[in-house]
Amino acid sequence: MKAVAVTAFGEQPQLMELSEPDPGPGEVLVRMSAAGVNPLDWKIADGLLKDAVPHTFPLVLGSDGAGEVVAIGTGVRRFTVGDSVFGQFQRPERGGGSYAEFAAVEEKALAGAARSVTYATSAAVPTAGTTAYNLVEETRISEGKRVLIVGGTGGVGTFATQLAAGRGAEVIVTARPGLTDLMVSLGAAETVDHTLGPVADQVLAAHPDGVDVLLDLVSGPAAFGEMTRTVRDGGTAVSTVGSADADALTDHNLRGFNFQNRPSPQLLEILAGQLDAGRLTVIFGEEITLEEAPETLEASRTGHAQGKTVITF
């Protein structure tokens, strides 16, 4: 089968021919129709998890994906051959991932795919969608809350905007010029153009009483500290990139933490339901072929990706 993989940490991803995997006990074999591209993919290629879990090389990249079950291992109860599924396929210890024509994965990592959307749409959802959903849950976003999302035009940000607005929150999103209409269509009450000056100053000028929740998806520690000026006393500030300083937040009477995602098949089922109900829209950056994946990963690494990029097979 064709796959995009690395032969060692830090190596450039390559398109290569590998053996089709066999499903083990509790696993299903999926013929992949689409795979979502995430920053996590190149981070794993660079060795993000090398001290946490064993890795087998060649290591197929890619976590998110969707496709059709073509074989099942012993003990599988939730799926049968022919089922459409989506979920997270990264298996470092087995060298497996979603950037391949076939992937074997534990059934507990998957859910039934939404029936009303394409495989490409489903493949764009697992990591970004579960991250956004858990962010909204863990920060207790609800009706009447004012929320600032920094880095809001990427995969997590576009999902978080929709989910927070769907709960009745007033959502403010940072967005480059030209993306205002898009973010408003997803539920943002207003956008902040970071090219016009410091975001915190702009937000406080418009809202002197600040925001209830800060979801910062991009800022380093210093910039995150600056963004926390927008959060009112007793509010919540969260970083998805490890920039939150618990002591500093406590000193300013803020609740906050560095977010760690906890995906589950139950959460995937909720998101599939949101897709089928038309309450969740996937913003695509582009659809690419497997052959184009190595170059696209480099764009993700340098922060030039917009929306969700999906590999279609």
Quote the mean pLDDT of the chain.
95
Domain ranges within the chain, ordered by starting residue: 2-125+282-312, 128-258
Tell me which H or E stretch contains 103. strand 102-106
CA distances 230 to 206, 225, 237, 250, Å, are 11, 10, 9, 15
Tell me which H or E stretch contains 33. strand 27-36
How far is 269 from 289, CA to CA, in rounded Å?
27
Mean pLDDT of all residues in 146-156 = 95
Mean pLDDT of all residues in 65-93 = 98
pLDDT at residue 41 is higher than 70: yes
**pLDDT at position 52:** 86
Q: Are 311 and 293 in contact (CB under 8 A)?
A: yes
2-125+282-312 and 128-258 in the same fold? no
How far is 294 from 270, CA to CA, in rounded Å?
31
Which of 73-77, 101-105, 295-299 has the weakest average pLDDT? Answer: 295-299
Q: What percent of the chain has pLDDT over 90?
A: 89
Bridge partners (DSSP) listed for residue 190: 172
**Per-residue model confidence as pLDDT tens digits over 223-267:** 999 999 999 999 999 999 999 999 999 999 999 999 999 999 999
pLDDT at residue 121 is higher than 90: yes
Mean pLDDT of all residues in 81-89 = 99
Which of 31-40, 49-58, 295-304 has the weakest average pLDDT? Answer: 295-304
**pLDDT at position 304:** 56
**pLDDT at position 39:** 85
pLDDT at residue 152 is higher than 80: yes
For domain 128-258, say whether CATH 3.40.50.720 is its number: yes
How far is 147 from 141, CA to CA, in rounded Å?
8
Residue 19: strand, helix, or coil:
coil
**Per-residue model confidence as pLDDT tens digits over 161-197:** 999 999 999 999 999 889 999 999 999 999 999 999 9
Token readout for 296 is 């696209």
**Per-residue model confidence as pLDDT tens digits over 275-292:** 999 999 999 878 999 999
Identify which of 21, 16, 12 has the alpha carbon closest to the alpha carbon of residue 4: 16
Mean pLDDT of all residues in 107-133 = 97
Just give the CATH number of 2-125+282-312: 3.90.180.10
**pLDDT at position 298:** 78
**pLDDT at position 299:** 72
**pLDDT at position 134:** 98
Q: Are 256 and 249 in contact (CB under 8 A)?
A: yes
Going by pLDDT thresholds of 50, 70 and 90, the confidence category of residue 306 is: low
